[in-house]
Amino acid sequence: ILNVEQSPQSLHVQEGDSTNFTCSFPSSNFYALHWYRWETAKSPEALFVMTLNGDEKKKGRISATLNTKEGYSYLYIKGSQPEDSATYLCASTNAGNNRKLIWGLGTSLAVNP
């Protein structure tokens, strides 16, 4: 994988459902993986930055895992609420690319009340 790919592109869930999405990234020379939450008409806000294989991070009902050997990260939302509706972006950086972030296109989540 040369680029950062996110799936699914969009997701509609009911309030209370738990959901997860995937970020695939280049695993060679991996350095860090970022997750951001981007609400409509606002600016992206950082959720997590992860660097170590097997790392797990949690913020309230949102958690993320990281597998650097196979090049993927999962973002989980437990008990989705309407306020979780947003686009979730991931970005990775490799040791060799001058630490520049490569961004995915995002997963757009809509939580219906």
Partner 1 sequence: NAGVTQTPKFQVLKTGQSMTLQCAQDMNHEYMSWYRQDPGMGLRLIHYSVGAGITDQGEVPNGYNVSRSTTEDFPLRLLSAAPSQTSVYFCASSDKHEGYEKLFFGSGTQLSVL
In contact, 38 and 87? CB cutoff 8 Å: yes
11 or 35: CB nearest partner 1: 35
- 10 CB-near residues (< 8 Å, 6+ apart): 107, 108, 109, 110
Determine which residue in the list 2, 40, 42, 70 makes contact with partner 1, applying CB under 8 A: 42
Q: Cα separation of 83 and 103, whole Å?
A: 23
Inter-CA distances, 34 with 22, 41, 73, 109, Å:
12, 21, 10, 18
Q: Which stretch binds partner 1 (CB under 8 A): 13-21, 32-40, 63-71, 75-83?
A: 32-40
Tell me the backbone φ, ψ of residue 64, rounded to 5 degrees: -145, 150
77 or 90: CB nearest partner 1: 90
Q: Which stretch binds partner 1 (CB under 8 A): 12-20, 62-70, 78-86, 104-112?
A: 104-112
Asked if residue 2 binds partner 1 (CB under 8 A), the reply is: no
Residues of this chain that bind partner 1 (CB under 8 A): 4, 31-32, 34, 36, 42-46, 49, 51, 89, 91, 93, 99-106
